[in-house]
Structure 1
């Protein structure tokens, strides 16, 4: 199975998926990393891992839809089966979503539906929640509103800053994202309306539900 990753920043979640593929835990290949910014960490990580990457300039297109059509054309040419957004700071259009229905994943550093969008750690601290976490979900036409695949929980202490909270959550992001990808590649994900069910998974333990099996 061919996987594409789209990134806009440091690329740590991209790296966690790519390493899982290279180690054989995920039965597939990273067909391409597509970036919308130059001189970012994700490119450096791709070069170190031997993953092909492409920069597509978002300012070279007259609309978000035209930009996404270009991305989709690349992905279709490479016969990509799954698209993973990893710190990708662009809202994908309906053109993109309709081209890969239920085949686009995203990771968000909060327990959705709480704190969607930008600055979720700051929002969590400001709101005074006692737990937060990360969510891997399929992408739909809303902002962080797609069907949830897996979630991880971390405690929020009175001393936490957005930076310290981000680091706690990131450690679990690097485990739940490749796990979700593996479940997809292995054909274990079933979608029923808003509900995503991982076949034969353990839904009874914390801090990650469904429980990790490989990461």
Structure 2
């Protein structure tokens, strides 16, 4: 399956996916990595793996529709079949959703439906929950509301800090996302 990874930041999940492909545990081809941020570290990670990149900012387009039309055009040119959101910090609009309906997944650092949206780890930490986790879900028009594919709990210890909790959650993300993508790829999850 030919995929595009979308990321807005450091790209640690993108790197975990690329490493899983390199190690042979994930049978996918990353056609390109897209970022909406010109200085996103994910673009450097893509270069390390010799993955083509695409970067343009929504603010340079008259509307979200035109931004997404250009994105869909570039994805089609690259023959992208599936989109993997890996720290992409933008709500997906109707144009992109319609073009890739049922062919787009996201990873979120909480046990959805708890703590959707931005700073889910901080939300969970400040709520003093005993358990949070990671969710992988299909993307729909809502914020972190699509059908759940996989979840894994992460225990919040009384001595955890935001930093230590983030590290524990990222460790689960970096393992669970490639595993789940491989299950989707082999059509064990529909």
Provide the secondary structure at the position in 1 that maps to 2:74. helix
In structure 2, stretches of 5+ residues that fail to align are: none
Aligned alpha-carbon RMSD (Å): 1.1
Instruction: Give 1:161 deviation, angstroms.
Output: 2.3
The Cα offsets for residues 10-58 of structure 1, whole Å up to 9 and x where unpaired, read as 0000011111122222222100001111122101111111111111122
- Paired residue for 1:97? 97
Q: Which is richer in helix?
A: 2
TM-score by length of structure 1 reads 0.85
Task: Name the structure 2 match of 1:108.
Answer: 108
**Which range moved further: 57-66 or 168-177?**
57-66
Q: Which moved more, 1:98-107 or 1:152-161?
A: 152-161
TM-score (norm: length of structure 2): 0.96
Task: Give 5+ residue unaligned stretches, structure 1.
Answer: 191-215
- Alpha-carbon deviation of 1:115? 0.2
The correspondence of residues 43-58 of structure 1 with structure 2, limited to 5 A, is 43-58=43-58
Large movers: runs of 4+ above 3 Å: none
SS at 1:106 equivalent: strand
Report what 1:32 is aligned to: 32
Partner Cα distance (1:110, 1:35) in 2: 23
**Per chain length, whose mean CA-contact separation is higher, i.e. which structure has more relative contact order (CA < 8 Å, sep 6+)?**
2
Of stretches 39-48 and 165-174 in structure 1, the one that deviates more from structure 2 is 39-48
